[in-house]
Structure 1
Amino acid sequence: MPAVRPSLPHSRALHVCALLVCALAAPAFAAEPAAPAPPPLAAFFDNAVFSAAELSPNGKFLAVRFSSDNKRDRLIVIDLASNATTVVAQFDDRDVNTFQWVNNERLVLDSTDKRIGLGDMVHGPGLFAVNRDGSNFRQLVHLTWAAFKQRSVTRITLPPDHYLVRQTGAQASDEVYLTNPKRDGVRENGDIKYVNLIRLNTVTGRAETVARPGPALSWLLDHKGQPRLCVTLENNLETIWYLDPSSNEWRTLASFDRYAGGKDAFTPLAFGPDGTLYVTSNAGKDKLALHTFDLASKRISAEPLVSLTDYDFKGQLVTSGEKLLGARYLSDAQATVWFDSKMKTLQASIDAALPSTVNLITPAARPDSPWVLVQSYSDQQPEYYALYNIQTGKFTGVGSTRERIVPDQMATQELVRLTARDGLALPAWLTLPHPAGPGKGQRKNLPMVVLVHGGPYLRGSEWGWSAEGQFLASRGYAVLQPEFRGSTGFGDKHYKAGWKQWGLKMQDDIADATRWAIAQGIADPKRICIAGASYGGYATLMGLVNDPALYKCGINWAGVTDIKLLYTGHWSATSDASSAYLKYGAPTLIGDPDKDAAQLRATSPLLQAARITQPLLMAYGGADRRVPLYHGQKFYDAVKAGNPEVEWVVYQEEGHGWSLPKNRIDFWGRVEKFLGRHIGTP
C-alpha cells in the first residue's frame, strides 16, 4: 500500500473555544487579536485544565479529565443526548490520572498527585472503579503497602504493585487486566524478573493470575480482550509466545536478540477483529512497516500493509465493532490511512471543515454510534478535542489542552533535511519566531537555540505544538532540533549509524546542523546556544568541548556527564537502568566499559570539564534515578574551578525532568534570563 501523507497546514491555525465546564457547546473559531506581549511562562508550562477525553463503547457518553479553580483533576461523564454532566470520581488529596471505560456502564481509573515531585511520592497509583452515574465506587488496588496490610478482610483489594493495562478488548464485561511486575529484591525497585498478568473483576474485586510461558516481559490481548501473546526475556534473548485457542497451550512464534534485532525480528502490534496478528518489522529492509504475521507458518507477510517512504511505521490499528477501519501512524505528523470507504469520506469532510489542522478521528467501539471524537492540532495549535456528529455534520467543542495559548501568536515549524559531513541525510526540526513577536518580523540572522533530544535512541520530535520550542520562539529565538544519527523513526541505517557514536559522529551531526542554519542565514553565528536534557545534556557539554567557537553558551538539565558512570554508579544513588540492559544493550549501543574504555574516556565531559569556559546553566533532580544527581554534582565541582559563569540549580523533589509547574516555570524563567544575557542581544 503506498504511503499516505497528511496534508500539513501552513495557514493560520484554528482558534478554538475555551473548555466547557458543565455542558458542551459549539467551538468559537474566530481568531483573537495578537497580544502585545509574549505569553507568560505559565501559559506554556502550567498543568492543563483539560487533559483527556474518551467515548464510551456505545458512543453515548463522554468521559473527561478536567480541573477548575486550582482544584484536583476529576473524572466527569457527559451524557451526549442530554448534555447532563456527572462528576463520578474526585479525591481531596490526589488527582485522577489514567482512565478507561470497562463497559458502557463502568469505568476504571488510577491516580497521581500533581502537587508533589517524584522524590516526595509515598503512594502508588492505586486503582478504582465506578459506574458512569457515580455509583458503586470501590477501590481495587491500594495506594501503599501499609494500607494494604491493614485492609479489611471483608473488602478484596490488591497490593500497590498492580497497574492497569491500557488494552480495552471487547469492553463487554466487568473485567480488566492488570500487570504485576516481580522484582529481584536486590535493590529498591530492582530488576524485573517477570511480569504477571492479572484478570480483575471491577465489581467483585476478584482477581486471577494468567499462566505465563516463561519470564514474561509484556503481554498482548486479542480483540475480544483475551490474553493471546506473551513476550519473554532471558538475558538478551526475546521470545514471542502465542496462546493457541485450539489447544489453549502456549507455543513459540519467534526468538531473537532484543537489542541487536535481525532480519526476522518483529514487534507485535495488535490483533485484528478476525484474529489476524499485526506486527511491525523492517523484513530485511531499511524502514519498519506494518505487516501481518501468519500464525501457522510463523512468517511475516512478504508485502507490507502500510509502508512509508521516509519513516519507520509507528502507530496503532483503528477498529469499530468487528471491522478493521484503518491504521494511525506517524510520518512528519500524525495521520490515518483508512481501509474503510466511509471513514475515508468522513476524514475528507472533517478535513474540509478544519483545513488548518491535522485531524485524528477516533470512532466509538460500537459502529452504530453517531459520534466520533476528533483530536485536532497544528504547529501553532495545541491539541484540541471536539465531538463530530456523523448524522448532523455538526461539531461540539470539548476542550483545549492549552487554553491560554493563542495560535495566531505562535511560531511555525517545519522539517528540513540536510546532509552530514560523511553524506548521511539528517532530518531536523526548525521553529522560527512569529513575525509579530520579538525581533519585529526578523526571520534571518536570529539568535538560535540548538535543542538536542534525549534518549538518544528514540525520535526527538514531530510536527506539532510543543511547549519548549514554542516558548523559546516566543522570546525571539530560532529553534533547531536535529534528528542526529541514532535517532529512531528514520530507518535502520540512520539508527545503527549512531551505535557507539556518543561524542563522535552523533556530535558531528549536531554541529553540521548548526552550521547549516548559519549557512542558510537563519542563525547569527555569534548568538547560538546548545541545550538539552538527559542525552541532550551530555551532547550540550560535548558540544561546548568539541566546538567551542560554534556555541556561545550551553544549557544542560538532567544530563549524563560521564558514560562510565552509567555502568559503575555511585554509593549515594542507584540508576534505574536494568542489569540486562547494562550487560547486553548498552555495550552494543553506547560502548563497552572495558573494550571501549579509551573511547569512553575521550568522550567524557567530566574528564574534559576544564575545557569548558562558555557560560553554562545546569539543573538536576534530586530524586532522579535515570541520571542520578551525582552526574551533575561531579561535573559542577569539576567545571566551576575554571569557569566563573556556571549557574547550578537542584530541584530536590524532582526526578528525570520537572513534573511540578512551579519548577518548570522556575527553570524556564532561568533559561529565559540566561539566554537574554548571553545571546539575546546583537
Structure 2
Amino acid sequence: MQETVSTEAPLIPRAALFGNPSRRGAAISPDGRHITFLAPLDGVMNVFIAPRGALDQAKPLTHETKRGVPFYQWAQDSGHVLVGRDTDGDENFHVHAVDITTGHARDLTPHENVRAEIAKLSLQHPGEVILSHNARNPQFPDLYRVDITTGAATMITENPGFAAFAIDDDFNVRCAIAFQPDGSQITLRPDPASGWVPFLQFAPEDAMISGIEENFAPDGTTLIRSSAGRDTSALYRLALDTGEQTLIAADDRADIGGVLVDQITKAPLAYSVNYERNRYVALDPAVQPDLDYLDAANIGDWVAQSRTDDDKLWVIGSNADTAPGAAYIYDRTAKSLEKLYDSRPELADAPLAAMHPVIIEARDGLKLVSYLTLPKGSDAATPGRPSRKLPMILLVHGGPWARDEFGYNPYHQWLTNRGYAVLSVNFRASTGLGKSFVNAGNNEWARAMDDDLLDAVDWAITANIADPARVAIMGGSYGGYATLASMTRNPTKFACGVDIVGPSNLETLLATIPPYWESIRTIFQRSIGNPDTADGLALLRDRSPVHLADRLARSLLIGQGANDPRVKQAESDQMVAALKAKGIPVTYVLFPDEGHGFARPENNIAFNAITEQFLAAHLGGRAEPIGADEISRSTAQILEGADTLR
C-alpha cells in the first residue's frame, strides 16, 4: 500500500469538474440583437438564445436528448443558427439550420453516412452557406452552396483529391490545397483553360505550419502563414497576381496564432502569439486601446470568439488557471465589459490551484514548454516547488499535432486536488512552436518523443517535485499511445498508466484512418512511418506497443469508445488481448455510445471515478468514493478487471 497523500484542501466533487457547465460557447448574432450559448436541457447540452442584455429570458433553441450539440455557428442572416449533430460520437456530422423565431430545424445535409462541415459564411450572402460534405465520395468532400431557408443545394466544386479549399466572400473558390507524396504542400488556383494550376508551394518541412488564409481582400491580396526561410511561422501579405510576399508579423519564439482581421477590408488588425501564455499584439493602432483595455481587465488570457457585423461588440472568452471560463460582452465604443456568465459558478469558492509555466530542457537541448500544477498549499513557501516530494501524474496531450496551454484545466485541478503534482509537456511534434520543433517528431514516436517525456519526469524528480516511485502516465489519443509506448519501453519508470482511446498498433491505425483523412495520409506517413515501404513497415511494427505487451510490468487502465472513427475499438481490443495472452492483468472500460473521447458527462464522470480509485490504489492519493449510481448512470462496460475496482 502506498503512502497516503495528505492535504488540507476540501475535496472537489468530480461532478463539479466534469459535469455539464452551466453555460459555455457564447456567440453574438451578426446584427447584435441576440446572444446564444450552450447550456444543459434535461442534462444534455443544447443551444439557448436570449435577447442581448436579457439572458434571464433565454430559451432552448435545440432539443437534443442524448448527446450534446458538438458545434454551432450563427448564419449571417441573424435569423438562423447552424448546428452540428452526429450519432454516438461517430463524427458523421450533419449541419442543421434552426430558425430562431419558429425553432424549426432543417437538415441541410440529408444524406446517409455523411460528414459535413461549415466551409464559408459571408456578409455578402447572408441567406446562404457553403458546406463541404462527402456524400459523393467518402474520401474527398465537395463544396455546396446551400440556401439556409429552403435547403436547396448546388455543388460548386467537385473535389478531385484535395485536402482543403479557400473561398472568398463572394463564394468564389479561389484556391485548393493538396499534399504531395513527399509531404510538401501545394496551393492551386482554378484556371478556365487548364483546370487547377499550382502557384504556391511549401516544402515538406514547412507544410505542417504554413498555408493560405481565407482573407481575400478587395485589393487582390490575401494573408498566408509561412515558415519558409525561418523557423517559426510568420504572417505575410500575398499578392495573388505576382506572388510577392510582404512580411506583416513574426515572433522567433512561436508561430503566429490567431489573426483578427477587418471583416470588410480583410486588413489584419492584431495577431496572437502563444509561447508560455497567449498574448495579442496590435497591427492597426485603432485596436490598441481595445487590447490595452482587455489586457488590464484582469480576466486572464482572452480571445474574441464572436463579433457583430459592425464590429462594435465582441464576445470575449476568458481563460485563467484558477477560474473556469467566463464570457463577456465587450463594447468597443464605450470601452465597457459586461459579464455574461461564469461557466462553472459552483467552483467559485473551490480550492483551485495555480498553474506554473516551466521550460524544461530535453537531453538534446530542445526547450519543452510545460505546465506544472501542485496541490493547493503544498508550495506555500516557494511557489512552484512543493515542500516535499509528491506523487505525480504526467498528463500527455493528444494529437500529437496539438499543444498544452496555460489556463484552467479540469484534469489538473482534479488531480492536484487529490494530492498529485500534475505535469503537462509540449514534447517534440507539438504545434505552435516552430517547424524545427514539430518536425523533430518525425519517425520519433516511442523514441525521441518519449525521451522528452522521460526527461520531463527526471526534471521533476531532480527538482524534488516528484517521488520517483510514485509517478503515473496518463493521456488520451496520442497521449494514450504515449502511455502504452512508454510503459512498454520503460517497464519500471511509471507506477501505473491510464490510456484513453490510444492506438496500440500503428500499422492498423494507419490502415483504418477515417476516409475523409485520405487527402492528408502523406502527413501521417511522413510523421509516423510509411507502411508502403519495407523500412516504414518495420518502423511501425517496432514502435507499436501491442508487439511489446509482454514488457508491461505495471498496472494499466484502458478506456475506449466503441464508435471511435479515428482510433478504432480494435486498437484497445488488440492491446487487451495481447496482455491477456501473456497473463498480464489490465482494466478495460468500453463505452458503446462514445467516439474519440467521452462526450457525455455521465460517461466521463464514470470513467474518471474509476480512474480516481485506480490512481489512489497505486499512488496513494485521495479519492472521492464512487457514488451509488455513478457507474450505473453511464453506459460503462467493464470488460476486464472489474474485480480490481471493488
- The TM-score bracket by the shorter chain reads 0.7 to 0.9
**How many angstroms apart in 1 are the aligned matches of 2:520 and 2:156?**
30
The residue number in structure 1 matching 2:499 is 556
Tell me which moved more, 423-432 or 492-501.
423-432
The AA in structure 2 aligned to 1:534 is S
The AA in structure 2 aligned to 1:230 is A
Give the secondary structure class of the aligned counterpart of 1:67.
strand
In the alignment, does 2:369 pair up with 1:424? no
**How many angstroms apart in 1 are the aligned matches of 2:402 and 2:564?**
22
The residue number in structure 2 matching 1:141 is 108
Please say if residues 161 and 519 of structure 2, whose CA atoms lie closer than 8 Å, have aligned partners that are also in contact.
Answer: no
The residue number in structure 2 matching 1:298 is 243
The residue number in structure 1 matching 2:644 is none
State which of 188, 191, 200 in structure 2 corresponds to 1:241.
Answer: 188
In the alignment, does 2:577 pair up with 1:637? yes
Aligned in 2, Cα 1:101/1:110: closer, same or farther, shift over 3 Å? closer
Where does 1:315-326 land on structure 2 (aligned, <5 Å)?
315-322=258-265, 324=267, 325-326=269-270
The residue number in structure 2 matching 1:106 is 79
The residue number in structure 1 matching 2:456 is 513
Please say if residues 10 and 351 of structure 2, whose CA atoms lie closer than 8 Å, have aligned partners that are also in contact.
Answer: no
Please say if residues 141 and 516 of structure 2, whose CA atoms lie closer than 8 Å, have aligned partners that are also in contact.
Answer: no
Please say if residues 532 and 539 of structure 1, whose CA atoms lie closer than 8 Å, have aligned partners that are also in contact.
Answer: yes
Please say if residues 625 and 656 of structure 1, whose CA atoms lie closer than 8 Å, have aligned partners that are also in contact.
Answer: yes
Q: Deviations over 1:553-600 (max 9, x none)?
A: 111122222223334x5xxxx542668579634332112342144444
In the alignment, does 2:319 pair up with 1:377? yes
The residue number in structure 2 matching 1:89 is 61
The residue number in structure 1 matching 2:40 is 67
**How many angstroms apart in 2 are the aligned matches of 1:358 and 1:249?**
48
The AA in structure 2 aligned to 1:117 is D
Deviation, 1:511, is 0.7
Deviation, 1:248, is 11
The residue number in structure 1 matching 2:118 is 165
In the alignment, does 2:50 pair up with 1:77? yes
State which of 280, 286, 303 in structure 1 corresponds to 2:225.
Answer: 280
The residue number in structure 2 matching 1:542 is 485
Give the secondary structure class of the aligned counterpart of 1:375.
strand
**How many angstroms apart in 1 are the aligned matches of 2:447 and 2:198?**
39
The residue number in structure 1 matching 2:30 is 57
**How many angstroms apart in 1 are the aligned matches of 2:71 and 2:485?**
38
Q: Deviations over 1:249-297 (max 9, x none)?
A: 9763535478x35589941123154442101110221111111112122
Aligned in 2, Cα 1:405/1:318: closer, same or farther, shift over 3 Å? farther
Deviation, 1:437, is 11
In the alignment, does 2:325 pair up with 1:387? no
**How many angstroms apart in 1 are the aligned matches of 2:426 and 2:199?**
32
Aligned in 2, Cα 1:77/1:243: closer, same or farther, shift over 3 Å? farther
Q: TM-score, length-normalised on structure 2? A: 0.84
Q: TM-score, length-normalised on structure 1? A: 0.80
Aligned in 2, Cα 1:670/1:225: closer, same or farther, shift over 3 Å? same
Please say if residues 72 and 92 of structure 1, whose CA atoms lie closer than 8 Å, have aligned partners that are also in contact.
Answer: yes
**How many angstroms apart in 1 are the aligned matches of 2:610 and 2:600?**
16
Please say if residues 477 and 500 of structure 2, whose CA atoms lie closer than 8 Å, have aligned partners that are also in contact.
Answer: yes
What is the percentage of aligned positions where both structures have the same residue? 26
The residue number in structure 2 matching 1:587 is 525
The residue number in structure 2 matching 1:446 is 390
**How many angstroms apart in 1 are the aligned matches of 2:599 and 2:541?**
33
The residue number in structure 2 matching 1:176 is 129
In the alignment, does 2:155 pair up with 1:209? yes
**How many angstroms apart in 2 are the aligned matches of 1:180 and 1:92?**
22
Give the secondary structure class of the aligned counterpart of 2:617.
helix
Deviation, 1:467, is 1.9
In the alignment, structure 2 segments of 5+ residues that lack a partner are: 1-6, 623-646
Aligned in 2, Cα 1:61/1:321: closer, same or farther, shift over 3 Å? farther
Give the secondary structure class of the aligned counterpart of 2:337.
strand
State which of 117, 121, 139 in structure 1 corresponds to 2:88.
Answer: 117
Residue-pair matches, total: 608
The residue number in structure 2 matching 1:398 is 340
Deviation, 1:88, is 7.0
Aligned in 2, Cα 1:367/1:591: closer, same or farther, shift over 3 Å? same
The residue number in structure 1 matching 2:422 is 479
**How many angstroms apart in 2 are the aligned matches of 1:578 and 1:100?**
22
Please say if residues 398 and 475 of structure 2, whose CA atoms lie closer than 8 Å, have aligned partners that are also in contact.
Answer: yes
Where does 1:33-44 land on structure 2 (aligned, <5 Å)?
37-44=10-17
**How many angstroms apart in 2 are the aligned matches of 1:504 and 1:239?**
30
Please say if residues 448 and 524 of structure 1, whose CA atoms lie closer than 8 Å, have aligned partners that are also in contact.
Answer: yes
Q: Deviations over 1:185-244 (max 9, x none)?
A: xxxxx4x1x332111222343332214584443222224554333334676675423368
Q: Deviations over 1:438-489 (max 9, x none)?
A: 99x9554111011122222x13311111222222122111111222222222
When the two chains are superposed, the root-mean-square deviation of aligned CA atoms in Å is 3.5
The AA in structure 2 aligned to 1:447 is P
The AA in structure 1 aligned to 2:88 is G
Please say if residues 28 and 315 of structure 2, whose CA atoms lie closer than 8 Å, have aligned partners that are also in contact.
Answer: yes
Aligned in 2, Cα 1:65/1:628: closer, same or farther, shift over 3 Å? closer
The residue number in structure 2 matching 1:308 is 251
Aligned in 2, Cα 1:411/1:645: closer, same or farther, shift over 3 Å? farther
Give the secondary structure class of the aligned counterpart of 2:454.
helix
Please say if residues 24 and 38 of structure 2, whose CA atoms lie closer than 8 Å, have aligned partners that are also in contact.
Answer: yes
**How many angstroms apart in 1 are the aligned matches of 2:60 and 2:505?**
49
**How many angstroms apart in 2 are the aligned matches of 1:355 and 1:394?**
13
**How many angstroms apart in 2 are the aligned matches of 1:514 and 1:492?**
25
The residue number in structure 2 matching 1:627 is 567
Please say if residues 198 and 208 of structure 1, whose CA atoms lie closer than 8 Å, have aligned partners that are also in contact.
Answer: yes
The residue number in structure 1 matching 2:167 is 221
Give the secondary structure class of the aligned counterpart of 1:314.
strand
Q: Deviations over 1:514-551 (max 9, x none)?
A: 00010011111111011222222222122223333321
Aligned in 2, Cα 1:444/1:269: closer, same or farther, shift over 3 Å? farther
Aligned in 2, Cα 1:544/1:232: closer, same or farther, shift over 3 Å? closer
In the alignment, does 2:528 pair up with 1:528? no
**How many angstroms apart in 1 are the aligned matches of 2:555 and 2:11?**
26
Give the secondary structure class of the aligned counterpart of 1:518.
helix
